[in-house]
Amino acid sequence: MTTGGQAQIGNVDLVKQLNSAAVYRLIDRQGPISRIQIAELSQLAPASVTKITRQLIERGLIKEVEQQASTGGRRAISIVTETRGFNTIGVRLGRNDATLTLFDLSGKSLAEEHYPLPQRTQETLENALFDIIAQFKELYQRKLRELIAIAVILPGLVDPDKGVIRYMPHITVSHWPLVANLKKRFSVTSFVGHDIRSLALAEHYFGASRDCADSILVRVHRGTGAGIITNGHIFLGSNGNVGEIGHIQVDPLGERCHCGNFGCLETIAANGAIENRVRHLLQQGYSSSLTLDNCQMAAICKAANKGDALACEVIGFVGRYLGKAIAIAINLFNPQKVVIAGEITDAGRILLPAVESCINTQVLKAFRKNLPVVRSELDHRSAIGAFALAKRAMLNGLLLQHLLEE
């Protein structure tokens, strides 16, 4: 007969979490802010705001600052977040390596290291990953004040709610419970997410789309993926995975994709495909400052920026197909902004007009109006998407409540 009582306790805990999160979010986004303003904006009782802010101050998560009095009266006391004393280790797990970054709660990078990780089984990869996290913690223990989270982002299929990896493109994975294993080894709250979806969230919090609630990020790298933000949240769907824009068919007569279909966007707009196209054109005798020995993405972008005809043609070609797929996504989701990430954006002067020319002709006029298409501001920050997962858990109250209860 305890189920009703347990549900009631659960409801009380949830209300506490939501209220604390509402207060913390306002301070994080609008601080310095007074308790009166918090009560007005959150629609919580002033007594509740006072109680929550007292808890947050005692935990060191916020602090009081004196604001200049506007009318010569007593100085108002306002509140801001305190970010320096709390750390997250963000991990960007690639196919053969990992980047580890130590962040404070503002998203500032305090330290970063790159490690080779050539392991090819789930067990050996996990062991190697945990060893380098332990090494990294040891290496930067002087900079580490309080470790509140470890977050890992990676390519593949991820169930972020259950903390499980279902698929990775380069190793055989069978229901890898990474979050549970991280918690067991390091005794700290842990998160896992898809690399591109997490980058889209980071872009929303700290980058090019922080001024809007709905955006689409498209990243061109080894493949082509997308992250969709709707009403300030990553759009994931019930199975946790959406945004496989790289597998929209853009050329029915195109090359076979590794997914088994023909003419997927990824067969045209991915670093390897772009480099192969340049090589093919060079072998056919087209003149260029590029050579067969030097036609990596960085060199192609550099040549395009200098006006090299072959490099410009290839970047424009890719941009038009990219635009075709992005236009479909815009018609589906009607975003306020489109963000493009990846090395190819180094040639943005050629790429973006090619993308926009397709969007202009293939998107509903109402959806195209006032829709910026911009470069990512964060793509060079490898593990920032991992930190975004911890930031989200502070803002929605999950990690925040955990810290308050410690």
More confident of the two residues 21 and 119: 21
Q: Quick: pLDDT tens for 315-369.
A: 999 999 999 999 999 999 999 999 999 999 999 999 999 999 999 999 999 999 9
What lies within 8 Å, CB to CB, of 380 at 6+ separation is none
What top-level class would CATH report for the domain 209-375? alpha beta
Whether the CB-CB separation of 107 and 205 falls below 8 Å is answered with yes
- CA nearest to 105, candidates 141, 149, 57, 138: 149
pTM listed for this prediction: 0.91
Contacts 24+ apart (CB under 8 A), 21-25: 21/395, 21/396, 21/397, 21/400, 21/401, 23/49, 23/52, 23/53, 23/56, 24/56, 24/61, 24/62, 24/81, 24/394, 24/395, 24/397, 24/400, 25/395
pLDDT of amino acid 319 = 97
pLDDT of amino acid 119 = 86
- The CATH H-level superfamily of 87-200+383-405 is ATPase, nucleotide binding domain (3.30.420.40)
pLDDT of amino acid 75 = 66
Domain positions in the chain: 3-81, 87-200+383-405, 209-375
**Region of poorest pLDDT, from 168-172, 260-264, 383-387:** 168-172
Interatomic CA distance for residues 315 and 319, integer angstroms: 6
**Region of poorest pLDDT, from 7-11, 152-156, 199-203, 289-293:** 7-11
pLDDT higher than 50, residue 124: yes
pLDDT of amino acid 68 = 53
Interatomic CA distance for residues 118 and 122, integer angstroms: 12
pLDDT higher than 70, residue 79: yes
What is the bridge-based pairing of β-strands 224-230 and 233-234?
antiparallel
87-200+383-405 with 209-375: one CATH topology? yes
pLDDT higher than 50, residue 167: yes
Q: Which residue has the tokens 């009782």?
A: 45
Confidence of residue 2 (pLDDT cuts 50, 70, 90): very low
pLDDT of amino acid 4 = 55
pLDDT higher than 70, residue 71: no
pLDDT higher than 70, residue 298: yes
Compute the CA torsion angle 30, 35, 40, 45 (nearest 10 deg). Answer: 140
pLDDT of amino acid 9 = 52
Percent of the chain at pLDDT > 70 equals 95
Q: Quick: pLDDT tens for 266-295.
A: 999 999 999 999 999 999 999 999 999 989
pLDDT of amino acid 8 = 56
Task: Please give the structure tokens belonging to residue 91.
Answer: 């991990």
Which 3 state secondary structure label does DSSP give 163? coil
pLDDT of amino acid 1 = 44
pLDDT of amino acid 196 = 94
What rounded mean pLDDT belongs to the chain?
92
CATH architecture of the domain covering 3-81: Orthogonal Bundle (1.10)
Strands (E), 155-206: 157-159, 164-167, 190-194
Amino acid at 303: A
Mean pLDDT of 12-26: 91
